[in-house]
Structure formats: C-alpha cells, structure tokens
Structure 1
Amino acid sequence: MSKQYDAVIVGAGFGGMGAAIQLRRLGYRDLLILDREDDLGGTWHVNRYPGLAVDIPSSTYSYSFEPNPYWSRLFAPGAELKDYALHVAEKYDLRRSMRFGATVTRAEWDGSRWTVGLDGGETVTATYLLAATGFLSQPRTPDIDGIDTFRGDVVHTAAWDDACDLAGRRAAIIGTGATAVQLIPELAKAAAELTVYQRTPIWVSPKPDYAVPRALQTAFARIPQTQRLVRLLGSAVLELMMISGVIHYRRFRLANRLAERWCRAHLRRQVSDPELRRKLLPDYSFGCKRPTFSNDYFPAFTRPHVHLETSGISRIDETGVITADGRRTDIDVLVLATGFNLWDVNFPAFEIIGRDGKNLGEWWRENRFQAYEGVAVPGFPNFLSLNSPYSYSGLSYFTTIESQMKHMDRLFTAMRRRGSRVFEVTQRANDDFLARMTEKVGQSVFALGQCATANSYYFNQHGEATLLRPTSTVNAHREAVGFPLTDYTYA
C-alpha cells in the first residue's frame, strides 16, 4: 500500500516551497514535494541560457520573510536565484520532503483523499493536493513545417545545451519575448551571423541595472530595515506601473501613454535607423504583453552581422529557414525562444479529476478559466492550485506566493478550528469572484487597449485575459487574510 501523506505538493520551485513552508507552520509535517526535474528551483533550475537574469529588481523578487542582502546586482543573474532557492530549501529543511525525477501524470479525489499517479505507474495518496507547477513550465515548440527535418543543432531556451558552441557559426533565433531580450545580445557576441525571426515586437524600457556595493550589502545584512525600505520602494514602482497603466487603464490612460513614450524614447536613443526602429516598435498598447527592461537588446540589432527578419516563416528544411516571401537563410544552429504553452497544457499541467469525475482541464476549457481568489475551484475538495486563472498579482511572483500563503493560513486555521479535514469552495463564492474579476478586466488595457496584435500569453484561447488578477497587490493580500470563511464548506 502507498504511504498516506498530509499533503502532496507538485512542483519544487518557489511556489511549492512557499506552500510547504506555510503547511509546516500550520503543523503539517508529513509532506511530499514532487518535481519532474533533477533538483529544486523550478524556473531557476531549468533555465540557464546566456544572459539569464530576473527582470524585476531583485529586492522584490524574494520572500519578504527571508530577504537576501547579498544580491550582486539590482537585477540579479539567474545563478543567484538558484542559489537563493537552495538556501531557502536548506534553512527551512524542505529537501527531505522533496523527490526529484517524479513526473505527476494524474490526480484523482476519491471522496476522502487524493490519489496521485506518477509516470511509471506508482501512486501516492494525500489528504491535500497542491499544484505548484508554475505558469511557464510547458515549453512551446513552434508548429512550423519542416522543423523536424533541420539537421543542425536545435536548442530551446528552457532546455539550454551548454555544449552548443556558437563561435564562428550561423545562428537563428525564433522569438522576441522577454527571454529573447536577454538572450539575443549574448548570441550576437558569439555567433558569426545571427538572424532574429520576430513575430511580435516587445515594449522595452531602460534597465537601471548596477552592481550592489559591498557596503550596501553589509548594511542590508546588519540593518534589515534598510533592505525592507528598498523593497517597499521597488514594489511601489512596480505597482504604479502595473496598476495605473494596465489594470486601471480606463481611468489612467495617460500613465499608459507615458510608459509607451518612455519606451519609444529608449528605442529612439539606441537605434538611429528609422526602418529598423519601425520594425522594433510594437503596434499594440503597453501592457497587453509583458514588457521588459534592457540596455543592450536594441543595440544588438545595429551590429552588422545581426539581421532582423519580420516576414513570417514559411518552412524550415535540412539546412535553413525560408520566409513567406521566399527568402532563404542557411544556418547551423536554431534557437527556439518560443515561450510556453499555458492554456492548452499548463492549466493544469497534469490531469486532475475532482468530485463526481469532474475533469479540471476540461471544465476550465468548456466553462471559462476561473479559480476563487486564484487558488480554489468548486468540485475539487482539499485542492489548491497555486498557478491558476486570476492568481498572478503584481509583477513579482513572490507577491502572488505570499498572498496565497496567507490564504492557506486563514483557510486551514478555520478548518482545524472546526475540527474538519475537508474543505471546498462554494459555487456561489466562485461565481461572485469570477463576476468581479470579469468586471475589473473590463476596465483594463486588456479590454480597452489595442491588444489584437500582441500575441500575448496573458490571453487564453477564448480571448480572455484571465492570467493576471486585475486588482492591486494590496487588495490581493487584504482579501487573502479576510475572505469570508463561509465561502468554503467544511466537513
């Protein structure tokens, strides 16, 4: 018989670790954290492409209860985020609950517990199931005719091959999202020729990146209040950008326009060629697609061996790429910066069957993507989905993680006070929350801006922007500690 756990958490990234820390605080000790990779860290373990760094200030990209005073830069490189994840796991004794190389394929509620199936046929059971598989965990391979016939090296940014040497070689990269913005300048340094295939340009603003002086790191370590102040200021700036210019677009269109002008000025300063500038300038509203920061992305395109291609790709053959207008480029290496598939295979990342055989993936796709407070779904008792519709709050993922930890604290405390072991969100509470979120999205840039050409992962296949929570982070945290307990049933 398989062992019965208090909770199974799927995913050993920052979301899964935050959930485990909160469950430990609540007294649950028998936890199992499953991850398909060979180590913890989630995104920061899987991704290791050249130029990888956090794209918001590091001071905001960490648990507030576990600050890191030793970030080397304002925007820390990816290796430091991996080290931070290792530090958190060690300090909070999480590794002993982790099991790697364990791919979850299915989970089913049997009326009293969850049975979780793993690749290979093994099953484990638990009272509670928490999905922390992340938003960007299922890489997307472009559906381009002939891509499987290419005889050169093919590498996806989410599975970077360190042995792939670009020196003296002809390379092509498909995609110009936030990942590509970091990677393209590095590829331009190494490749003899680099062709960038762009479907959608991206809004890019100046990156105020600088090394954090040792003296300041020491001050952060000795006087934690100083770092908390920096975190507060950084969070306030991000909140202003996200809430005023994007979420409250109807009332603050001027803020959105100012953000666009700031990005346009950055492009104009760095690219003198008007035709190249035109190709790199988005034709959709700021915020429809996640913007980013960079000081070296635009200059990379001004180098003589870097070529920007905006014609669609017709096909790929054994040795090169052919665009829709018939032009051919022979290459040695093909880099795929084509992002992730959120809405077809990541919501959820494995099959989840709730009460009365309710299939979560099918229900979401047939009845709109929705989750009460971004964590709970009616018909799925004792289940919390930490990467769900309307869950992502603000621009720092840690804002989302910590609001969900607060929600867990209130929910599990209420349940245990009642002597209950089973919770389930009510249909009424879910419907009310969905209606409120839908109304707020209607005030945002996603509904009122020009987003048709953004090709943004914020939008699902039904054209709804249901990824981000359309409220302030203050609101998200306030509701996490004060949602009506009657929004759940307990047994």
Structure 2
Amino acid sequence: MTDHDVIIVGAGFGGMGAAISLKRLGYGAATRSIAILEREDDLGGTWHVNHYPGLAVDIASVTYSYSFEPNPWWEHWFARGHELKRYAEHVADTYDLRRHMEFGVRVEGARWDEDERHWVVSTSAGTRTATYLMTATGFLSQPRLPDIEGVHDFAGTVIHTAQWDDSADLTGKTVAVIGTGATAVQLIPQIARQAAAMTVYQRTPIWVTPKADFRIPRAVQYLFAAQPWTQRLARRLNSTWLETLMVTGVLHYKQARLFNQGAAALAKAHLRRQVADPELRRKLTPDYSFGCKRPTFSNDYYPTFTRPHVTLETTPIRNITSTGVVTGDGRETEADVLVLATGFNLWDTNFPAFEVIGRDGRNLGKLWREQGYHAYEGVTVAGFPNFVTLNSPYSYSGLSYFMTIEVQMRHLERLFGELQQRGAHTFEISERADQEFLAHMLERMDDTVFVQGSCATARSYYYTNEGDAVLLRPTSSAHARRAVEAFPLDDYVYA
C-alpha cells in the first residue's frame, strides 16, 4: 500500500496541468491519492518566485494560458506577473487542486523499488511512496550566480532578479546591472526610472522586436466573456503569427531561412528607429542568428540606453570589489546596488532537479549527461517505470509553454487511459521506441538554426553544458499536436 497513487513535484502550471488530467481520469477522489509537493510557500512556479519590477509574460495572454480555461479578464495583452499569479490561483481553485498541494516540501531524491513496484520519494518532510511519479519542476526558478571573481565581496546591496527584494528602494542610487537577457529587457527600463545612474554590463546582446502591448479595454473583456469564440479566434491568430515569426524561422531554418532573416530585419529596424547613435546600435546588435538565444519583445528597452544617466558597458568584467565593478581594462565603476540579471541555472540544477534512480540503479542525470538527453515524446524515459518527466529534453513545443503543457496532458490522458483499460499498474516506454524517437529528433534538429545558423556566440540556455540544443522540440506546434494523438500506445510495456 503506497502513501499516494501519484506524486507530482511542482505546483506551477505544468504540475497543475498534470493533476487536471489525472482528475479527468478519476484520480484524486481521495485527497491523498494525488500529492503535489512544492518547495516554495505557494503555488504558481515561475510566477510565484519571480516578482521583479516590470515582470510580464512575453507571449500574449490569450496564448499564454490553458486553452480549456480561457481568462476573459486579462488586464493587458501581455499579462503582468501579478495577473499570471492570480490566474494560477484561479486554476487551482476551479479544478480543486489546493487540497492536494503541500508547500515548503523539498523533494531530495526518488528511487524505483522493483520489488514493491512503486517509487520511494525522499523529501525534506520525510519519505513518501507512490505508484507513479511526475516531475514538473520547471527551469526558470533556480537563480544562477555569475562566475565572476569577487561577486560575494560587494559591500552594497545585491539583488538577483529571481530573488527580488520588494523593499529595496533604488531611487537616487547608482546601480550596476549584470546581464541583458529576457528578464533584463523587462527590468532595465524600470530601474532607469529610479536610479541616479545605471551601468548595464552586457556580455551578449539580445534580439528584441516591437511589442504590441496595450491595456485590454473593458468592452473587449466583456466580449471575450460573452462570446468565448472571439477569444479563441484571438488566440489562434496570435499563435499563428508567433509560429511564423518565432518558430518556423528557428526550427525550420533550413527550409525557411527567409522567415529567420525577416525576423532579424524586423529587430534591426526596431533598433534603428529607437537608437540614432550608430556605435550604440552596433553594441546592441547580436552577431548570432535570430533564435539561437530566446528573443523577446520590448518598446522601451533600446531607448533606455539613450538616456544620459544610463551607460552600456561591453568591456568584459574582470572582477567585482566591495565598491563596484572592474572591467578588463582596469576601470572600476562604483555602485550602491548590484543587480544580477544572470538568469537561471538550467543544466546543473535541473534535468533532473533531484536524483532519480530507476530500474537496476539507473541514474537519470548520469544517463542524460553521459549518453545524451532524451525522452520519448518529451515525457518518458526507458528504464524508469511509472515515471513522467514534464521538464524534459525535446519537450518544449512552439513558443508558449502552455502549448507544451497541453500536449503533455494529452499524452498522460492517452497513456493512463490505456493503463486503466488494460487493468495494468505499471508502464514503461520501450528502449526501442525511446531510441527511435531520439533519432527522429536528432534528424529534425539538422534543419534548425542551432545546426544551420551561426550560434557560436549566443551563449544560450537552449544548449546543455555538453553543447547540445535539446530543450526545444524541432517540429511545428501542429506536428506536436498530431503526434500526441498518433503515438502508438504499444510503444509502452504494461504490467
């Protein structure tokens, strides 16, 4: 007898999506049937952990949400962080998920017990057992500190964007910002409005395209609520545009190079319109192909660098002292506040986020790092029975995370439906199917910008420490939707 039928690790949108699928199949009637274990003190994942100034989704709200649970009351076309947090709470309440959630519980490891045919999960609150284990740990929550000498010696205020101090007042302060990724694009204009002086240290410029952002009129909200088809239409149109601009030219670079070049031209034109100084434009222009690193949208990022109290520094950082930042040419710029917009640690602390030991002592992290990252349809791995990894290689479909979540939800519904129909209790993807899917992904990857483009200088989190781009599924969103309806259920072994 296990403590739970299913343990889901993570109470973000991925974990909640998995729980919704299980409840559709009849799991969760008893509260302890499903346990959603979350290390933070509340639900929401990324949208709970992150709350820095300017936080917003960079995918339109009508697309960045569950298609089966539309929200007609979005305040902005690009929802702000607090709106996403509120939406997460709404989903949890609507689908009765809170009673399954336990907060402040950190999962430290999991081991498959072959004799008992269940998972033994070690947590900060003790050991649990479950027939099925699902990880929905995300990857945009574990902050990455820069590998810079002296970073711990700075005597002023240090804030990482993923651990933002809401009480910090930057008004009139001299601020040094390290990093110019997607988070920094949102944050830097906000800091510039408060700081007396700001220096931004850029290692790699980012592609930025115009952001068609606006507050959604109340009349439109009422229209979405009264006529849901209008919101579905808005979602479809926006998703199609994103797929064309951001996905086709990246994942089908070989066949659609013109789309990629068109997106880069759009970003360059955006930069020219907003920055007159040719030298500043040069510094802000990436030298890698569009899409090698996640691009983003903003209307106020580029103009921020034209303000007299803002400096863009592209000379590499040598070290940090107690009073400021020293660049490679020996210049020190003093600062009161050091803001680390250095992103998240993906490949050292995730994939997996904790030790997972499967059949015959197989270590998932070691397997991925030594034999290549892979997961059948971005969901399961041979040698790991009754295990689903929702944060996995080749899982991310399209540009919206919700596209990925819903494809994975459908995979779970088909798989667990088959399990129930057979009266079985154990599933495991066959080694043959696992390897055939990996071969298919590697073949499709040959068409992408990651292989065909110029990505050497991108320093992108899309790449593992071993240099492989395994995060994105190299197919269209439509292909992913078709595949999840068509994968052979006999690819799994049931018992």
Task: Classify the TM-score, shorter chain.
Answer: over 0.9
Query: Segments of 4+ in structure 1 off by > 3 A?
Result: none
CA shift for structure 1 position 475: 1.1
**Is 2:124 the partner of 1:119?**
yes
Counterpart pick for 1:359 among 337, 343, 363:
363
More moved, 474-483 vs 397-406: 474-483
Q: How does 1:451-470 map to 2 (within 5 A)?
A: 451-470=455-474
**Is 2:109 the partner of 1:110?**
no
Q: How does 1:330-341 map to 2 (within 5 A)?
A: 330-341=334-345
CA shift for structure 1 position 462: 1.8
Q: How does 1:201-240 map to 2 (within 5 A)?
A: 201-240=205-244
Q: How does 1:255-294 map to 2 (within 5 A)?
A: 255-294=259-298
1:32 alignment counterpart:
35
Question: What SS does structure 2 have at the residue aligned with 1:489?
Answer: strand
**Is 2:169 the partner of 1:170?**
no
Distance 2:142 2:12 in 1: 14
Is the 2:107–2:121 Cα contact (8 Å) retained in structure 1? yes
Question: What SS does structure 2 have at the residue aligned with 1:147?
Answer: coil
2:400 alignment counterpart:
396
CA shift for structure 1 position 135: 2.4
Distance 1:169 1:22 in 2: 49
* AA at the equivalent of 1:388: S
Is the 1:313–1:323 Cα contact (8 Å) retained in structure 2? yes
1:101 alignment counterpart:
104
* AA at the equivalent of 2:92: A
Counterpart pick for 2:354 among 350, 353, 356:
350
* AA at the equivalent of 2:404: T
Counterpart pick for 1:83 among 77, 81, 86:
86
Distance 1:257 1:147 in 2: 38
Distance 1:270 1:42 in 2: 35
**Is 2:441 the partner of 1:442?**
no
2:305 alignment counterpart:
301
Question: What SS does structure 2 have at the residue aligned with 1:109?
Answer: strand
* AA at the equivalent of 1:290: R
Deviations 1:455-487 (A, max 9, x none): 000111221110000001111111112201111
1:9 alignment counterpart:
8
Distance 1:438 1:282 in 2: 27
CA shift for structure 1 position 3: 5.9
Question: What SS does structure 2 have at the residue aligned with 1:106?
Answer: strand
Distance 2:457 2:193 in 1: 31
CA shift for structure 1 position 243: 3.4
Counterpart pick for 2:480 among 473, 476, 479:
476
Is the 1:247–1:445 Cα contact (8 Å) retained in structure 2? yes
Is the 1:26–1:413 Cα contact (8 Å) retained in structure 2? yes
TM-score after normalising by structure 2: 0.98
Counterpart pick for 2:410 among 406, 410, 423:
406
* AA at the equivalent of 2:294: R
Stretches of structure 2 that go unaligned for 5 or more consecutive residues are none
Is the 2:49–2:141 Cα contact (8 Å) retained in structure 1? no
2:330 alignment counterpart:
326
- Aligned-residue sequence identity (percent) comes to 64
Is the 1:137–1:346 Cα contact (8 Å) retained in structure 2? no
* Equivalent residue pairs, number: 489
Question: What SS does structure 1 have at the residue aligned with 2:43?
Answer: coil
TM-score after normalising by structure 1: 0.99
Distance 1:244 1:392 in 2: 14
* AA at the equivalent of 1:189: R
Is the 1:128–1:382 Cα contact (8 Å) retained in structure 2? yes
Distance 1:242 1:211 in 2: 24
Distance 1:123 1:137 in 2: 24
Is the 1:178–1:290 Cα contact (8 Å) retained in structure 2? yes
Distance 2:423 2:191 in 1: 58
Distance 2:362 2:413 in 1: 27
Is the 2:174–2:336 Cα contact (8 Å) retained in structure 1? yes
Distance 1:191 1:274 in 2: 25
Distance 2:140 2:456 in 1: 22
2:52 alignment counterpart:
49
Stretches of structure 1 that go unaligned for 5 or more consecutive residues are none
